[in-house]
Chain A
Amino acid sequence: MSSIIPADLRYTESHEWARAGDDGTVLVGITDHAQRLLGDLVFVEIPEVGRVLTAAEACAVVESVKAASDVYSPLDGVIVEVNEALADNPELINQDPYGEGWIFRIKTTSTLDGLLDAAAYEAVAAADDEDEDTGTLANPKLVD
């Protein structure tokens, strides 16, 4: 089953989505494709409000039963709001990645023009599916 990629959002190659608001802020989460790869989420480390970010900076961690991945900021900006509900309900990202499962909101002066559109992201996700072994760590080897 292919994943949902809403046409009105912008994306990154690292599987974040970005939605511009009317007030100069941008809402950020991870894509449906990303949450499928990760599987059931058990923990989200959310960033702090007020943190200054540069584009592509790691600022949150999503942890599932089989892997943990960084979430990167799509743009330069300052975090103005975080989704506190994720602390108790990380599965919101699995259930509703583009809605209730948003992660943080940044205030930015950048535009979303430099990010991928839905068609471009669909190609990224499709390539990822073909090469799934490198994308996940579902079966780690234990070492001493």
Chain B
Amino acid sequence: MPFIPHTPADIRAMLAAIGASDLDALFDEIPPALRVGQLPALPEALNELQIGRLMEARAADWPRPACFLGAGAYEHHIPAAVWEIVGRGEFYSAYTPYQPEASQGTLQVLYEYQSMMAGLTGVAVSNASLYDGASALAEALLMAVRANRKSKSKRILVPRASHPLYRRTARAIVHNQGIELVEVPYDPAGGHTPVEALAPHAGQDFAALVIAQPNFFGVLEEVDALTDWTHRNGALAVAAVNPTALAILKPPGEWGETGADIVCGDGQPLGSPLASGGPYFGFLCCRQELVRQMPGRLVGRTVDLDGKPGFTLTLQAREQHIRRSKATSNICTNQGLMVTAATLYLSLLGPGGLEQVAATCHANTRALVDLLTRVPGVSRAFDRPVFHETVLKLPHPAGEVLDKLLARGVLGGLDLSAEYPELGDALLICATETKDEADLRRYAAALAEAV
């Protein structure tokens, strides 16, 4: 049933009131070439029983391989309590739950989330989340251009070793605002972005440098040196980080002499399951001085008329419903449910638990690399330290190897040939805390057969 309350009579009355002939007339400013029209490729609708049977059949076809694929979304253990609590009606069914008189519980969850993210990233402020990591990076770049009033150039340095899909998404969002993303090469031996790679840009006018930690290859960047170089050149340091890694790495707020200015990333590792690409959530944090350039919802703690503590949206003059076209962003929502899961996930694990997860991921990845590089023809592509992902060189094209691995029940990683052809037959692998020694050995045995 359509959830539209208007009857045909209502619609006719409304059209008559505004002098429009029919509903299509309301859309006539959209050029016909851009209208979808019919969708002949879509099959007939199925009923609930039919769709259930179809999905069961498809699930049975999928071998549920052991997952060693990361590349931006990671398989982590999520305590059962997380989604049990998120599924409560108070959280699950609330829409635009921002009215302080009706939503103290939800607002407090968002406030706790913001406090945890500020603690994890080491900067003063977190917003209540954005859609995903890639669009959070785009918002971080727009924010950097607004905030860096010394820079007139609208140029931003972006390492080639940062996530290719983040770079593509960011470019799609910012290029119509005249912002230019300039690629910085990585070191072919280390897989990192050395300060020397930035030398050609020293003294130039640019608004910001993106620093990915770890970078797309899993490699740890020299974040202190990169941050200080950025600040010496009058630019803002935008950190794009994995939140799990922050449990064992230096928080961006402490990078270099004065810390990163803006911190963004994807929150999926904190309680969101892998689900065909989403929904996930993006996080965005910053130094206190930049808060008025930050987009998105912000919840603050305050007192009511009787002096009792309470929570409410704050600094709303940044936002669309107040500043209209001059708002910091058209984002005026957050990923409430995923953020509720992240808050519960972080609460249940605690700092020690998250550190244990991160350390186990790192140890498993090291152990996996040890096993896999014993297979003849397989070697590490880069020699620098990594968090929980790394690049392997293979003796055959990665796509072919991955197909053979999948036939043996192993989802082996990401073929890098499309994004990084210069690396040759290269594979990005990841082992999280969900893997045990038997899983790692299973991968090694499958790889030995596959190459």
**Contact B317–A67 (Cβ < 8 Å):** yes
User: Which residues of A51-93 have CB atoms within 8 Å of chain B's CB atoms?
Assistant: 63-64, 67-68, 70
**Contact B321–A144 (Cβ < 8 Å):** no
Whether, in the assembled complex, B332 has its beta carbon less than 8 Å from a beta carbon of chain A, the answer is yes
Whether, in the assembled complex, B53 has its beta carbon less than 8 Å from a beta carbon of chain A, the answer is no
For B441, what are the chain A residues with a Cβ–Cβ distance below 8 Å?
Answer: none
Q: With both chains docked as a complex, state the minimum distance between the C-beta of A30 and any C-beta of chain B, in angstroms.
A: 16
User: Which residues of A102-144 have CB atoms within 8 Å of chain B's CB atoms?
Assistant: 137, 140-144
Q: Which of B149, B318, B321 contacts A142 (CB 8 A)?
A: B321
**Given known contacts A43-B292, A48-B149, is B321 in contact with A143 (CB within 8 Å)?**
yes
Whether, in the assembled complex, A45 has its beta carbon less than 8 Å from a beta carbon of chain B, the answer is yes
Whether, in the assembled complex, B12 has its beta carbon less than 8 Å from a beta carbon of chain A, the answer is no
For A141, what are the chain B residues with a Cβ–Cβ distance below 8 Å?
Answer: 321
For B115, what are the chain A residues with a Cβ–Cβ distance below 8 Å?
Answer: none
**Contact B332–A144 (Cβ < 8 Å):** yes
User: Bound state CA distance, A110 and B365, in angstroms?
Assistant: 69
Which of B40-48, B91-99, B237-245, B417-425 has 4 or more CB atoms under 8 Å from chain A? B91-99
Closest to B321 in A: A140
User: Bound state CA distance, A140 and B321, in angstroms?
Assistant: 6
User: Bound state CA distance, A56 and B316, in angstroms?
Assistant: 25
**Contact B332–A63 (Cβ < 8 Å):** no
User: Which residues of B144-191 have CB atoms within 8 Å of chain A's CB atoms?
Assistant: 149
Among B149, B317, B333, residue most surrounded by chain A Cβ atoms (within 10 Å): B317
Q: What mask results when residues 308 to 352 of chain B are scored 1 for a CB within 8 Å of chain A, else 0?
A: 000001001110111100100000110000000000000000000
Q: Which of A67, A70, A143 contacts B96 (CB 8 A)?
A: A143
Q: With both chains docked as a complex, state the minimum distance between the C-beta of B321 and any C-beta of chain A, in angstroms.
A: 5
For A144, what are the chain B residues with a Cβ–Cβ distance below 8 Å?
Answer: 95-96, 332-333
For B292, what are the chain A residues with a Cβ–Cβ distance below 8 Å?
Answer: 43, 45, 63
User: Bound state CA distance, A63 and B98, in angstroms?
Assistant: 21
Q: With both chains docked as a complex, state the minimum distance between the C-beta of A93 and any C-beta of chain B, in angstroms.
A: 15
Q: List 5 A-B contacts (CB under 8 A).
A: A48-B149, A68-B317, A142-B96, A143-B96, A143-B320
For A67, what are the chain B residues with a Cβ–Cβ distance below 8 Å?
Answer: 317, 322
User: Bound state CA distance, A64 and B316, in angstroms?
Assistant: 10
**Contact A140–B316 (Cβ < 8 Å):** yes
6 more A-B contacts (CB under 8 A) besides A70-B326, A142-B98?
Answer: A64-B317, A68-B323, A140-B322, A142-B96, A142-B321, A143-B320
For B313, what are the chain A residues with a Cβ–Cβ distance below 8 Å?
Answer: 142
**Contact B322–A137 (Cβ < 8 Å):** yes
Closest to B323 in A: A68
User: Bound state CA distance, A143 and B322, in angstroms?
Assistant: 11
Chain A residues in the interface with B (C-beta under 8 A): 43, 45, 48, 63-64, 67-68, 70, 137, 140-144
Q: With both chains docked as a complex, state the minimum distance between the C-beta of A49 and any C-beta of chain B, in angstroms.
A: 11
For B318, what are the chain A residues with a Cβ–Cβ distance below 8 Å?
Answer: 68
Closest to A144 in B: B96
User: Bound state CA distance, A48 and B316, in angstroms?
Assistant: 24
User: Bound state CA distance, A48 and B313, in angstroms?
Assistant: 30
Q: With both chains docked as a complex, state the minimum distance between the C-beta of A12 and any C-beta of chain B, in angstroms.
A: 18
User: Bound state CA distance, A119 and B227, in angstroms?
Assistant: 55
**Given known contacts A48-B149, A137-B322, is B95 in contact with A142 (CB within 8 Å)?**
no
User: Bound state CA distance, A144 and B322, in angstroms?
Assistant: 13
For A137, what are the chain B residues with a Cβ–Cβ distance below 8 Å?
Answer: 321-322
Q: What mask results when residues 91 to 132 of chain B are scored 1 for a CB within 8 Å of chain A, else 0?
A: 000011011000000000000000000000000000000000
User: Bound state CA distance, A108 and B95, in angstroms?
Assistant: 52
Closest to A45 in B: B292
**Contact A143–B316 (Cβ < 8 Å):** no
For A68, what are the chain B residues with a Cβ–Cβ distance below 8 Å?
Answer: 317-318, 322-323
User: Bound state CA distance, A64 and B95, in angstroms?
Assistant: 28
**Contact A63–B317 (Cβ < 8 Å):** yes
**Contact A143–B332 (Cβ < 8 Å):** yes
Closest to B336 in A: A144
For B322, what are the chain A residues with a Cβ–Cβ distance below 8 Å?
Answer: 67-68, 137, 140
Please list the 7 inter-chain residue pairs (A to B) with the smallest Cβ-Cβ separation, ordered nearest first: A68-B317, A144-B96, A140-B321, A63-B317, A144-B333, A142-B98, A140-B322
User: Which residues of B261-296 have CB atoms within 8 Å of chain A's CB atoms?
Assistant: 292
User: Bound state CA distance, A143 and B332, in angstroms?
Assistant: 7
Q: With both chains docked as a complex, state the minimum distance between the C-beta of B152 and any C-beta of chain A, in angstroms.
A: 10
Q: With both chains docked as a complex, state the minimum distance between the C-beta of A70 and any C-beta of chain B, in angstroms.
A: 7
Closest to A43 in B: B292
Among A43, A45, A48, A143, residue most surrounded by chain B Cβ atoms (within 10 Å): A143
For B317, what are the chain A residues with a Cβ–Cβ distance below 8 Å?
Answer: 43, 63-64, 67-68
User: Bound state CA distance, A63 and B328, in angstroms?
Assistant: 14
For A143, what are the chain B residues with a Cβ–Cβ distance below 8 Å?
Answer: 96, 320-321, 332
For B96, what are the chain A residues with a Cβ–Cβ distance below 8 Å?
Answer: 142-144
For B323, what are the chain A residues with a Cβ–Cβ distance below 8 Å?
Answer: 68
For A70, what are the chain B residues with a Cβ–Cβ distance below 8 Å?
Answer: 326
For B98, what are the chain A residues with a Cβ–Cβ distance below 8 Å?
Answer: 142
Q: With both chains docked as a complex, state the minimum distance between the C-beta of A17 and any C-beta of chain B, in angstroms.
A: 22
User: Bound state CA distance, A45 and B323, in angstroms?
Assistant: 14
Q: With both chains docked as a complex, state the minimum distance between the C-beta of B46 and any C-beta of chain A, in angstroms.
A: 30
Q: With both chains docked as a complex, state the minimum distance between the C-beta of A79 and any C-beta of chain B, in angstroms.
A: 12
For B99, what are the chain A residues with a Cβ–Cβ distance below 8 Å?
Answer: 142
Closest to B334 in A: A144
